């Protein structure tokens, strides 16, 4: 093959538009459904962070029935004593350490099912694993108020089970998209799907604050009822509208199916031969370790804010619960805007000839280093600089979303066949930060939620971001790794098959201008 020939065929915009007869192509419809699933999933994950501010209002002494005291044992577990009015839920006397344990409980389960989630998706299909993960999480969410009223241990158990169910979702979607996302749309489609996480935060934060501040279904319990029901409704739509592969979709046009198969290779849409996973090659691959390092570092920053931002706004900046919910959603709005713009830019850069590795490294570096500088600045701002603090935190979260076009999609670049497994391993490692970060925040701010203590939290996050930058820049690659394709399967390289197809397409359509840059 001519060295000037790219590995990925360049289709013209006209060719891409004509790939589906529908106004909304099936691959984008699936991506939007996935986005809504992540949206529901994250409303369920984050609602406790807002509700906990109201649930654990231990300083409120003006309730009608008074707030009884409770005793905590040496391990930090507290018996929950409460007051009940005619219209509001119980109030629990939980200290900072107990809150950290409750917030971190989700990630114990989330960590365990990451790797099994990728394997299950490869075996039973990403559609089934993703859908059932969201459905079971939604049912458990409906049980959260009952568990909280019973005991801290019961609440922790429910959150662990929710984590177990949600742990399978991210790797299962990666497996699903590996059969639907053409390489030149990979950043965009993956980012649109994952953007549901930030959209879920945008929705959950203000709505949860409003529900907690209201008397609807008892105040804070309504947060779990509302989002739990939404999750069940989403699953019904997902069950009937989502399909595992282009070949199994009854409404996909032949043009769109052909475009997808020509772009990613027909082998991606076939039942693959059974091969043993090349574990040794995976665990000795530097590009894999680049992704694992990035997973941990990015998730440390993300989960620190996800679980602790409402508490920071309340304790340090002095916002009330309703304001807290609204303001906590602003950083995630910035994330959504930045990650979508970045995905379009990343795909455009790759389509114009930029190396995939260079694009991934540049975006990942921006996602880590810019927030590092902003977080250090935030640590010196007190309650007298509320507007500036919110602006800097929002900007920090926004720039961190650049990683969705960095390491987040890089697993699909280097090993599309094993993306579920690598993503599962990475998310398991990243989820460890979800366990550790809330505990560290709770430990540092225990009985002393001051700006000085929160400075330590923000500095730790900044240092971890720097380490993530160095690791990814040194180790990351953009090309598919040799161990991704088993030798005994002996498929034709995708580019050779595409070269033949392109010649046929040019002759049939007479659109030489569409592909004359190949």
pLDDT, tens digit, 9 for 90 and up, residues 432-451: 777 787 778 777 777 666 77
Q: State residue 487's pLDDT score.
A: 66
Residue 12 falls inside a structural domain? no
Residues 30 and 158 reside in one and the same domain: yes
CA distance 380 to 291: 32
- Sign (positive/negative) of CA torsion 333, 338, 341, 347? negative
Q: State residue 181's pLDDT score.
A: 82
- How many domains does the chain fold into? 2
The answer for residues whose C-beta is within 8 angstroms of residue 262's C-beta and 6 or more apart is 9, 498, 501
Nearest to 81, CA basis, from 89, 91, 72, 66? 91
- Sign (positive/negative) of CA torsion 7, 13, 15, 17? positive
Nearest to 218, CA basis, from 89, 321, 54? 89
Both tokens assigned to 207: 């709505």
Residues 237 and 323 reside in one and the same domain: no
CA distance 374 to 114: 31
Q: Hey, how many other C-beta atoms are within 10 angstroms of the C-beta on 366?
A: 20
Residue 462, classified by CB atoms within 10 Å of its CB into exposed (0-12), middle (13-18) or buried (19+), is buried
Residue 333, classified by CB atoms within 10 Å of its CB into exposed (0-12), middle (13-18) or buried (19+), is middle
Nearest to 15, CA basis, from 409, 343, 351? 351
Residues 249 and 279 reside in one and the same domain: no
Four-point Cα dihedral 215, 218, 223, 228, nearest 10: -130
CA distance 382 to 316: 7
We report the CATH number of the domain holding residue 187 as 1.20.1250.20
Residue 506 falls inside a structural domain? no
Range of the domain at 462: 275-484
Residue 327 falls inside a structural domain? yes
| Region of residue 447 (phi > 0: left; psi between -120 and 50: alpha; otherwise: beta) | left
Helix (H, G, I), strand (E, B) or coil at 103: helix
Q: Name the domain boundary from 265, 286, 313.
A: 265
CB-based contact 515:14 (threshold 8 Å): no
Residue 500 falls inside a structural domain? no
Residue 294 falls inside a structural domain? yes
DSSP 455: H
CA distance 189 to 343: 8
Helix (H, G, I), strand (E, B) or coil at 78: strand
CB-based contact 375:456 (threshold 8 Å): no
Residues 232 and 109 reside in one and the same domain: yes
Helix (H, G, I), strand (E, B) or coil at 72: strand
Q: Name the domain boundary from 265, 286, 321.
A: 265
The answer for residues whose C-beta is within 8 angstroms of residue 51's C-beta and 6 or more apart is 208, 212, 220, 223, 224
Q: State residue 83's pLDDT score.
A: 45
> How many contiguous H segments (helices) and E segments (strands) does the chain have?
21, 0
Residues 279 and 261 reside in one and the same domain: no
CB-based contact 229:237 (threshold 8 Å): no
The 3-class SS string of 108-142 reads HHHHHCHHHHHHHHHHHCHHHHHHHHHHHHHHHHH
What backbone torsions phi and psi does residue 78 show, to the nearest 5 degrees?
Answer: -115, 140
Nearest to 53, CA basis, from 381, 306, 322? 322
Residues 255 and 302 reside in one and the same domain: no
CA distance 150 to 157: 11
Residues linked to residue 415 through DSSP beta bridges, in sequence order? none
Residues linked to residue 78 through DSSP beta bridges, in sequence order? 72
DSSP 59: T
Residue 321 falls inside a structural domain? yes
Residue 133 falls inside a structural domain? yes
Residues 249 and 302 reside in one and the same domain: no
Residues 154 and 177 reside in one and the same domain: yes
CA distance 180 to 168: 19
Q: Name the domain boundary from 247, 265, 283.
A: 265
Residues 201 and 290 reside in one and the same domain: no
Q: State residue 320's pLDDT score.
A: 65
Residues 242 and 301 reside in one and the same domain: no
| Helix, strand, coil shares, percent, the chain, to 5 | 75, 0, 25
Residues 219 and 325 reside in one and the same domain: no
Residue 503 falls inside a structural domain? no
Q: State residue 89's pLDDT score.
A: 57
Nearest to 145, CA basis, from 159, 161, 165, 160? 159
CB-based contact 459:243 (threshold 8 Å): no
Ordered per-residue pLDDT tens for the chain, 518 residues: 443 434 444 444 434 443 444 446 888 999 999 999 999 988 888 788 778 877 775 444 344 444 444 455 544 444 444 444 445 556 777 777 777 788 778 878 887 887 788 778 878 888 999 999 999 999 999 998 898 888 888 989 999 999 899 888 888 888 888 888 887 887 888 888 888 887 887 888 778 878 877 777 777 888 899 999 999 999 999 999 888 888 888 888 888 888 888 877 644 444 445 567 888 999 999 999 999 999 999 988 877 776 666 667 777 666 665 565 566 677 878 888 888 899 889 989 998 989 999 999 999 999 999 988 888 887 787 667 778 888 888 888 889 889 888 998 898 889 888 887 888 888 888 877 777 877 787 777 776 667 777 788 888 888 999 999 999 999 999 888 888 876 655 444 444 344 344 444 344 444 444 333 43
Four-point Cα dihedral 468, 309, 187, 485, nearest 10: 50
Residues 340 and 363 reside in one and the same domain: yes
């Amino acid at each position: 093959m001519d060295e000037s020939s790219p590995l990925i065929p360049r289709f013209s915009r006209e060719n891409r538009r004509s790939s589906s007869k529908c106004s909304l192509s099936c691959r984008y419809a699936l991506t939007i459904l996935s986005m809504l699933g992540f949206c529901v999933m994250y409303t369920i994950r984050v609602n406790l962070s807002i509700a906990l501010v109201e649930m654990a209002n231990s300083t409120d002494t003006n309730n009608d029935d008074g707030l009884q005291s409770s005793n905590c044992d040496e391990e930090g577990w507290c018996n929950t004593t409460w007051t009940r009015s005619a219209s509001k839920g119980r109030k629990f006397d939980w200290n900072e350490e107990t809150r950290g344990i409750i917030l971190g409980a989700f990630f114990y389960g989330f960590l365990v099912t990451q790797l099994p989630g990728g394997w299950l998706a490869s075996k039973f299909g990403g559609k089934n694993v993703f859908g059932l993960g969201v459905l079971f999480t939604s049912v458990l969410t409906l049980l959260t108020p009952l568990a909280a009223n019973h005991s801290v241990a019961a609440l922790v158990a429910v959150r662990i089970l929710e984590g177990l169910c949600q742990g399978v979702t991210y790797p299962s979607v990666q497996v699903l998209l590996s059969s639907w996302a053409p390489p030149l749309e990979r950043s965009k489609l993956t980012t649109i799907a994952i953007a549901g996480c930030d959209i879920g935060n945008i929705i959950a934060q203000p709505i949860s604050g409003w529900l907690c501040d209201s008397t609807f279904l008892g105040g804070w319990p309504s947060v779990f009822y509302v989002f739990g029901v939404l999750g069940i409704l989403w699953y019904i739509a997902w069950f009937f509208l989502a399909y595992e592969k282009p070949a199994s979709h009854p409404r996909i046009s032949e043009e769109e199916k052909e475009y997808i198969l020509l772009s990613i290779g027909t082998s991606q849409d076939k039942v693959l031969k059974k091969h043993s996973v090349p574990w040794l090659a995976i665990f000795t691959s530097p590009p894999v370790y680049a992704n694992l390092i990035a997973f941990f570092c990015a998730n440390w920053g993300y989960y620190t804010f996800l679980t602790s931002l409402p508490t920071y706004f309340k304790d340090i900046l002095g916002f009330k619960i309703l304001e807290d919910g609204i303001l906590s959603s602003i950083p995630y709005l910035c994330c959504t805007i930045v990650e979508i713009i970045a995905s379009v830019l990343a795909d455009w850069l790759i389509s114009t000839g930029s190396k995939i590795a260079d694009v991934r490294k540049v975006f990942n570096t921006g996602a880590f280093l810019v927030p590092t500088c902003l977080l250090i600045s935030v640590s010196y701002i007190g309650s007298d600089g509320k507007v500036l603090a919110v602006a800097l935190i929002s900007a920090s979260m926004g720039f961190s979303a650049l990683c969705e076009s960095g390491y987040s999609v890089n697993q699909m670049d280097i090993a599309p066949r094993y993306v579920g497994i690598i993503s599962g391993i990475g998310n398991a490692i990243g989820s460890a930060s979800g366990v550790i970060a809330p505990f560290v925040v709770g430990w540092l701010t225990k009985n002393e939620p001051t700006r000085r203590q929160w400075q330590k939290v923000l500095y730790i996050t900044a240092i971890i971001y720097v380490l993530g930058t160095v690791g990814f820049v040194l180790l990351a690659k953009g090309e598919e790794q040799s161990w991704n394709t088993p030798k005994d399967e002996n498929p034709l390289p995708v580019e050779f098959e595409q070269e033949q197809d392109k010649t046929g397409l040019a002759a049939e359509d007479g659109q030489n201008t569409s592909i004359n840059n190949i």
